Structures are given as structure tokens and as C-alpha cells.
Amino acid sequence: MAIEIVQVQPSVGLSKMAVSQTHGEDSPYFAGWKAYDENPYHETNNPSGVIQMGLAENQVSFDMLEEYLETNLESTNWGQKVSGFRENALFQDYHGLLSFRKAMASFMEQVRGGKAKFNPDRVVLTAGATAANELLTFILADPGDALLVPTPYYPGFDRDLRWRTGVQIVPIHCDSSNGFQITPEALEAAYDHATKMNIKVRGVLITNPSNPLGATVQRKVLEEILEFVTRKNIHLVSDEIYSGSAFCADEFVSIAEVLESRNYKDSERCHIVYSLSKDLGLPGFRVGTVYSYNDQVVTTARRMSSFTLISSQTQFLLASMLSDTDFTQKYIKINRERLKKRYEMIVNGLKKAGIECLKGNAGLFCWMNLSPYLEEPTIKSELAIWNTIMHEVRLNISPGSSCHCSEPGWFRVCFANMSEETLEVALSRIHAFIKERKQVL
């Protein structure tokens, strides 16, 4: 017989972190996920359900991964060596498997077209990019300090960077006048604002390619940011988890490439976050990395990574896959082509409905502009139209305000986590909604 536990108002206290609101669960970004979970779309079982367009997940090339694993089952399953199972089952070194760190470094080089080199000894393994960003925040800043982050930014950063670390985010306000690119003036304004608030700034964190913009950061902008952090004597974290999802390799410039061209001058303040969740479409494997040019950061990150390890079985499997350069080169090329095709499909479909998007060249989403269809240019009006789209049109998209965008009316719309047929259904729903909206306004 099951014992029923009746929950009452707890009389025993919890930590400040446990009761903190900085996790960000009250954001529309997470509310949209809840609405989807309660009524998920299925083409046959629930065709009127909510279509998930708030999840940046890459499924367009999953067939290639499945085919590889089926063809190379022996090499990814310990082969003929029973001792291989024993070695990996007992493996406990938080440095990670050397074979996997070498394979990750090689894959990071391939994704960047060989324009930057990575040393396996500087690769620190973490359980995903979420853990990597939090780990770096713990290392670079103390509670109460701040990181400058350009807006709009990934809503999960409110959780990843702030919740457990006690570090603050000070926004670098960017706008649509220049495609939301970061400017020296915006950097200085954010830094000055923090200084006036008596907040110590410890670094700048960027995503390149940008989430949620779906666009790469220009080389000139990277150089300006590097000059800024050097002058202020602070750190630069470049989250590059979508680097292999740039539709054209030539359009993506890594901070690693900039540093290499400068003979690694000022590199000790630079750190890169990478993951296999987006480019390889393996979020469930929880594989991330911190790559730092600072020896002390590498040492400390490796010590702290004992709290966020990747299973040796996962490392073994992926070391085998990523070491097969014929496969990885083919995958990177085809994945880019498929993402570009899918991006063009959604952007052209939205354009036919009378909706414009920011010009993008990377990622698993587009940055959609619904500002002409707001009743008034306010966040309140943005959330009102989002609520309608969520509950009546039944599409989960992420409002710009959840990304701290300074201009109401922008939305992040994901396109790579569904079939083309489902995307067509989503576009048809948007068309019908806009047609009705035009009659009302």
C-alpha cells in the first residue's frame, strides 16, 4: 500500500538559492514549453496540438548519425575487446578520455574550416554548454559581480549565469538599426551603467553565431570587443555552440581565429564554450567543453568539472565517431546545406504572409518581426500577441522580451526540430493568423 504524503506549508527553511527567483522559470520562454507539453502536436494523433517552435534542436541530419552508428556498430561498442568495457567502466579521471579530447579538438577545427587550431590539453569536458557557461562564470566572477551580455540573448542565460553563481547580468543594449550588432558605444554604455551601480564587471559574454538572432558576429565587431575587454582588463567568453550551424563556413569567424591572427596577444582573457548539442544534434548526450587560453582557468575548470562529468561510454562512442574525418567532413557539409534550405523555407513562407525576418546566416531559428501587427509598441502588446499565438494559433514561439530585447515585437522561431511537413502546417497557421490580424488592425 502506497504511503500518501500530504504537502503543507513547510516549517523548515531552505537556502536562499532554493527560494531564489533568478532561475527564470516565470519567463514566457518556459511557459511556452509547458503549453506544448500539455498539448503536443502530432500529425495523426493530435493534429490540432501546439507545434513546438521554441526548442532549438537540430534534427535535420539525424539520419546521418543513425546510419553511421548502424554501419559502425562494432567500433562504437567496444569492438572485440572485452577489456575495453572494463577500462571504460572503471575510468574516473575528470580530465576525460584523451582520445575524446583529441577528437573534440579536431572536430572544433573542422567546424571552423581549419582556420583555427585547438590543443586537446586545453579542452575541459562538461555535461553540456549549460554546465560550461556556469562553470566559467564561477571561475571568472564572484557573487555580486557582473557579466555584460548583448541583447537580445538566450533566455536560459538568466538561469545558467545567475542562479547558482550569484553573478549579475548587465545588458549591452543592441537594436535593429544595425541588425542588433554590438557597437563600441553600447559596450561603453553598459560598462558605465554597471560602474554607476557600483557593480564590478568581470567580463563580456557573447554568442557567436547569435542565439536568438541566427546571425554571425562580424570580424570587425569581434576585434572591437577584444579591444574593449583588453582595455578594461576583463574577460571575454565566446559561446560558439552554433559554429557548425553557420550555413556557409566562410561567414563564421571564431574568436580563436582572431586570436591566432594576433599571435595570441591578449588571449589569456579569452574562453570558448562549445557543445555537440546543436551542430551534431545530440543534446541528450550532454557533451560540452570549455576551451580557455588561460592556464589557471583550464586548471580550475578541470577541477570543477568533477561536478559535471560526461560518462566514459559516451566519450568512447563519440571519440570513435568524431575521429572518422570522412564522416565528419561529410556531415558538416550536408548539415549546413540542409539547415540553409530549411531556413529559406521558413523565411520565404513568412514573407508570403507579410512577415519580415532579420537576415540570418546561421543557427536553428529565425528572428521574426511582428512589430507591425502589435496594437501598440509595448512589451504588454507583444505578450498579448504571443499569448494568442500560443493558445489560439497553437504555436510555441519565444517572445523577444524573454530574450531581453529592447524593441517589442520580435520573436525567435525554431525550424530544425520538426519535419518539413510539420513546418508547412505551422506556416499555414501563421498565414491564417496574419490574414485575420490584418482585418482587425
For the chain, the C-alpha Rg in angstroms (whole number) is 22
- Going from the C-alpha of 358 to that of each of 67, 255, 406, the distances in angstroms are 35, 23, 15
Active site residue 379: no
Active site residue 333: no
DSSP class of 399: E
Residue type, 439: Q
The bridge status of strand 270-275 relative to strand 235-239 is parallel
Per the listing, cell 531564489 goes with 20
Active site residue 278: yes
Per annotation, catalytic residue among 241, 346, 355, 434:
241
Active site residue 34: no
Cα separation, 371 vs 385, whole angstroms? 10
Cα separation, 257 vs 226, whole angstroms? 12
- Nearest residue to 103 via CA among 290, 328, 271: 328
DSSP class of 163: I
Beta pairing partners, 413: 366
Q: Where are the alpha helices (DSSP H) in 112-196?
A: 129-140, 157, 184-196
Per annotation, catalytic residue among 102, 278, 291, 293:
278
- Nearest residue to 163 via CA among 153, 155, 171: 155
Tell how far CA 190 is from the center of its chain: 23
Per annotation, catalytic residue among 191, 239, 272, 332:
239
- Nearest residue to 35 via CA among 20, 21, 53: 53
164-197 burial by CB neighbour count: b if 16+ within 10 A, else e? bbbbbbbbbbbeeeeebbbbeebbeebbebbeee
Catalytic residue numbers read: 154, 239, 241, 278
